[in-house]
Amino acid sequence: MAEKIGVYFDESSVGPYFNVEELVEFVQTRWSSDCPVVKAHPVLPGEDGMNMIKSDLDAGTIDSVLICGSSPRIDWEIYDFGKSILVERVNLREQCGMCCPDDASDDKVLMAKDYINMGVIKLQKSALPEPELIDTVKTVLVVGGGWTGLNAALHAARSGYDTVLLEKDGDLGGHAAKLYKTVPLVHPFTEAHSTGIEKLIADVRTEPRIKIITGATLSALEGAPGSYTAKYTNGQEDKIGAVVMATGWVEQDPEVLAPMGYGKFKNVVTTWQIEEMAKKGQILRPSDGKPAKRVAFLLNTEQLEPKDLYKKEEVSEEPTEEAKTEDGETPHVDEYKDLESLRHLPYSSGINSVVALKEANYITEMYNDGQAYIIYQDMIVQGIHEKYYKAAQDNPGVMMSKGTIGSIREDRDGGLLITITNNLLGEDIELKADMVVLPTGIVPTTAKDPVMNFVYRQGPAFPDLDLFDGFCDSNYICFPYETRRTGVYAAGCVRQPMFMDNAEDDAAGAALKAIQCIESANHGVSVHPRSGDLTFPVFNFVRCTQCKRCTEECPFGALDDDETGTPKPNPTRCRRCGTCMGACPERVISFDNYSVDQVGSMIKAIQVPDDMEKDGPRIVVLACENDAYPALDMAAMRGKKWSQYVRIIPVRCLGSVNAIWIADAMSKGVDGVMMLGCKYGDDYQCHFVKGSEICNRRKENIAETLDRLGVEPERVEQYQVAIDEYDKLPGMIEEFQNMILEMGPNPFKGF
């Protein structure tokens, strides 16, 4: 706990907006016994300023430091005085001086004083964290022996870490070993070439740090990062520190391609089937084994509706022979009512386009008179693959056209007749092909199988995979490789569809994350997104009622529980988001430097006037430190202004917001509480995956409580904001404040 706080003002940051001497005098008067040193310096982050602070620390005059100046997101590495010194930042520049309206100078000073008071109290309610140290196992487990897994194993081993490579099949190589060729990955990027998988396998087999296990899968993963026990289906087990999951993909159920004739017409196949044919040396029609020299590749299959099934007369009472299925029955639209289940994975479209180019070239390579047709709605060719696309355009054997597939029917000789509308030629055309090729949907193995088989309270699989089509990233935007289970890092097509060059990069990234996790666990710090955080949740089990809310709401499975329901913390699984703290109705969970009491005390430190009409309302903004808080900084730095009646308190995540903070604010007379957090739902961007969503659910309970107390539930509102939506924040604040002004003062004001 901070007892002798040194308060330092950076004049270069604060001077343009405030009378620094006035603020110094305020602190000396208000906090005379708690802050024995109060100083200002022209350039505090400079060498002289740092020496001034260090001399006060060395003399023992102070035991903690409060910096009043710029945002804590700036110069954070400068204001570091060692692990034994607590440091807090008061953002008087971006979120006070810069943002305050020009005609509100008096209110701006009141604003600054409130922020200083909250800063002092935050330090007083903080303690130096004592890390949970464990003896870590410096071994990386790589699950999956395909292209990605092989590369990941090599990266981990060559970085000096023992590595276990686990492959379910008897041979290494995975899908890469079954490819005829890969799309161009080397200069000049105009021709497909061999994968190089044989050399990669040889390199892995000769690497002394890699232990290879084939013909087995992971039956259980017990423990926590740094000290896992991996058990395999062959009876073996290993102690490991972290995992790279490179289990790859499986084909999507081809039933989704039924509207395009797959399963009805033998010569309608998938791109993976073509790849297997090419690997064997010839591309032949499945119906009769004849060479497939005229092949149509159809993209954007998800846009075809069931009404456009196999060619048939919609109004005819007697179906034509072409319209009948093999058993003589006529297919009905009712068979495909569930459109969503028939949609092809849209994530594959970038892959589908280039794979179609590759396999179209197979046709012209294997047959001198071969002709390939690519019909698309969207041809998605990214980056360097544009060169491959242009090379295909120059190939006289490859024809590409934008168009919509009207129908597909079988000709008498087994060929397929394709009606194409809305094409580049203008008129509807009918194309005859020996074979039709449809995209292969890439489905991550995690969508079909638990894969990791976690021995966690929350179950053996990754949670909520149905929300993301089975892909298990915890945050695509900010944290690639990271899954909802700390210590397990996804790479390759189990993370998202990709080509082999991207998978190789993924392998390196995931291997490095696994190593970072092991080393972080060894030092008792968190890995992500609060990298280096020494804190972990502390439980007062005496008051715990075993309600299990913390264990159920933790997005990362960090908490197990015993037979009585008492939480069992796993510090190295923890992401330090504080969701458990926000969930606890008894407020028995806290962190050394972040707690329910701390933030509640900061709210109580705000000076709330009794007369709202004369002195304005008071609005507390609980801002997520990951998106909302930096967005507020960015808005201020770009000249945006907002109300001088707002007081902003950063929180680790909206999931950490405890209902008592709302009660503290209302009982204090605060007129409204805004909660600014990341986006949730389909467009989720929450750094802790579920934080904003959980907060929104809790808000409904808070609203019921406020309603019973006679306080309008609308006084507490949650807003979603992305970090790049900083320009919208002033409008959000103004909208909320106008609503508060219409409602009038908080009924508890003055009590």
Whether the pLDDT of residue 444 is over 70: the answer is yes
Structure tokens at 501: 């060059």
Please state, as a whole number, how many other Cβ atoms lie within 10 Å of the Cβ of residue 3: 12
Q: Where are the domains of the chain?
A: 1-128, 139-251+443-523, 254-440, 538-590, 594-751
Q: Could you report the per-residue pLDDT of 601-632, keeping only the tens digit for each?
A: 999 999 999 999 899 999 999 999 999 999 99
Chain-centroid distance of CA 458 in Å reads 20
Cis peptide before 529 (omega within 30 of 0): yes
Whether the pLDDT of residue 327 is over 70: the answer is no
DSSP characters over 260-289: GTBTTBTTEEEHHHHHHHHHHT--B-TTT-
Percentage of the residues of the chain whose pLDDT score is greater than 70: 92
Class of domain 1-128: alpha beta
For the chain, what is the radius of gyration of the CA atoms? 31
Give dist(CA 42, CA 53) in Å, integer.
13
Domain 538-590, CATH among 1.10.260.40, 3.30.70.20, 3.90.1150.10, 3.90.180.10: 3.30.70.20
Q: Is the dihedral of CA 84, 85, 89, 90 positive or negative?
A: positive
- Best CA proximity match to 115, nearest among 134, 100, 130: 100
Q: Is the dihedral of CA 599, 602, 607, 610 positive or negative?
A: positive
Among 262-276, 334-348, 675-689, 694-708, which is the least confidently predicted range?
A: 334-348
pLDDT band at 307 (very low <50, low <70, confident <90, very high): very low
User: What ranges make up the beta strands (E) of 122-192?
Assistant: 139-143, 162-167
Residue 318 pLDDT: 42
Chain-centroid distance of CA 339 in Å reads 28
Q: Could you report the per-residue pLDDT of 554-602, keeping only the tens digit for each?
A: 999 999 988 888 999 999 999 999 999 999 999 999 999 999 999 999 9
Burial 425-434 (b: 16+ CB within 10 A, else e): eeeeeebebb
**Which of helix, strand or coil describes residue 654?**
helix
Residue 686 pLDDT: 84
Whether the pLDDT of residue 340 is over 80: the answer is no
Residue 563 pLDDT: 85
Residue 314 pLDDT: 36
Are 692 and 720 in contact by the 8 Å Cβ rule? The answer is yes
Going by C-beta distance under 8 Å and a sequence separation of 6 or more, which residues neighbour residue 187?
Answer: none
Span 375-386, average pLDDT: 88
Residue 750 pLDDT: 66
**What residue type is 513 in one-letter code?**
K
Class of domain 594-751: alpha beta
Residue 257 pLDDT: 84
Structure tokens at 737: 């404040």
Q: Could you report the per-residue pLDDT of 60-76, keeping only the tens digit for each?
A: 999 999 999 999 999 98
Whether the pLDDT of residue 152 is over 50: the answer is yes
Edge to edge, the sheet with strand 473-475 lists 210-214, 162-167, 139-143, 242-245, 488-490, 479-483, 473-475
DSSP characters over 3-31: -SEEEEEEHHHHTTTS-HHHHHHHHHHHT
Are 269 and 301 in contact by the 8 Å Cβ rule? The answer is no
Among 454-458, 468-472, 665-669, which is the least confidently predicted range?
A: 468-472
43 HSE (CA, 13 A, CB side): 3
Residue 135 pLDDT: 87
Whether the pLDDT of residue 384 is over 50: the answer is yes
- The per-residue pLDDT of the chain, averaged, comes to 89
Q: Could you report the per-residue pLDDT of 359-368, keeping only the tens digit for each?
A: 999 999 999 9
Residues paired with residue 182 on neighbouring β-strands, in sequence order = 193
Give dist(CA 203, CA 740) in Å, integer.
67
Give dist(CA 500, CA 316) in Å, integer.
50
Are 131 and 673 in contact by the 8 Å Cβ rule? The answer is no
Q: Which residue has the tokens 């003589």?
A: 328
Percentage of the residues of the chain whose pLDDT score is greater than 90: 73
Sort 354 into a burial class: Cβ within 10 Å, 0-12 / 13-18 / 19+.
Answer: buried
Going by C-beta distance under 8 Å and a sequence separation of 6 or more, which residues neighbour residue 196?
Answer: none
Angle (nearest 5°) at CA 679 between 678 and 680: 120
Is-same-fold flag (254-440; 538-590)? no
Whether the pLDDT of residue 507 is over 70: the answer is yes
Please state, as a whole number, how many other Cβ atoms lie within 10 Å of the Cβ of residue 138: 17
- Best CA proximity match to 749, nearest among 665, 677, 648, 634: 665
**What residue type is 116 in one-letter code?**
I
Element containing residue 144 per DSSP (H, E) = none
Please state, as a whole number, how many other Cβ atoms lie within 10 Å of the Cβ of residue 633: 23
SS (H, E, C) 304-330: CCHHHCCCCCCCCCCCCHHHCCCCCCC
Cis peptide before 188 (omega within 30 of 0): yes
Residue 339 pLDDT: 30
Q: For residue 499, give the DSSP letter.
A: -
Give dist(CA 227, CA 183) in Å, integer.
40
Whether the pLDDT of residue 693 is over 60: the answer is yes
Q: Could you report the per-residue pLDDT of 209-268, keeping only the tens digit for each?
A: 999 999 999 999 999 999 999 999 999 999 999 999 999 999 888 777 888 888 899 999
Q: Could you report the per-residue pLDDT of 78-124, keeping only the tens digit for each?
A: 999 998 999 999 999 999 999 999 889 899 999 999 999 999 999 99
Whether the pLDDT of residue 321 is over 60: the answer is no
- Best CA proximity match to 553, nearest among 686, 689, 717, 702: 689
Are 566 and 587 in contact by the 8 Å Cβ rule? The answer is no
Whether the pLDDT of residue 549 is over 60: the answer is yes
**Which of helix, strand or coil describes residue 332?**
coil
Residue 26 pLDDT: 97
Going by C-beta distance under 8 Å and a sequence separation of 6 or more, which residues neighbour residue 368?
Answer: none
Going by C-beta distance under 8 Å and a sequence separation of 6 or more, which residues neighbour residue 583?
Answer: 549, 550, 552, 553, 655, 694
Whether the pLDDT of residue 312 is over 80: the answer is no
Given the DSSP bridges, would you call strands 86-91 and 5-10 parallel, antiparallel or unpaired? unpaired
**What residue type is 84 in one-letter code?**
S
Angle (nearest 5°) at CA 129 between 127 and 132: 150
Query: At the topology level of CATH, where does 139-251+443-523 sit?
Result: FAD/NAD(P)-binding domain (3.50.50)
DSSP characters over 524-581: T---SSSTT-----EE-TTS-----HHHHH-TT--EEE-TT--EEE-GGG-----HHH
What are the angstrom distances between the C-alpha of 430 and each of 46, 399, 408? 75, 14, 10
Chain-centroid distance of CA 433 in Å reads 43
CATH for the stretch 254-440: 3.50.50.60
Structure tokens at 714: 């609308």
pLDDT band at 207 (very low <50, low <70, confident <90, very high): very high
- The pair phi, psi for residue 228, each rounded to 5°, is -80, 155
Residue 348 pLDDT: 47
pLDDT band at 642 (very low <50, low <70, confident <90, very high): very high
Whether the pLDDT of residue 20 is over 50: the answer is yes
Are 515 and 156 in contact by the 8 Å Cβ rule? The answer is yes
Give dist(CA 466, CA 39) in Å, integer.
56
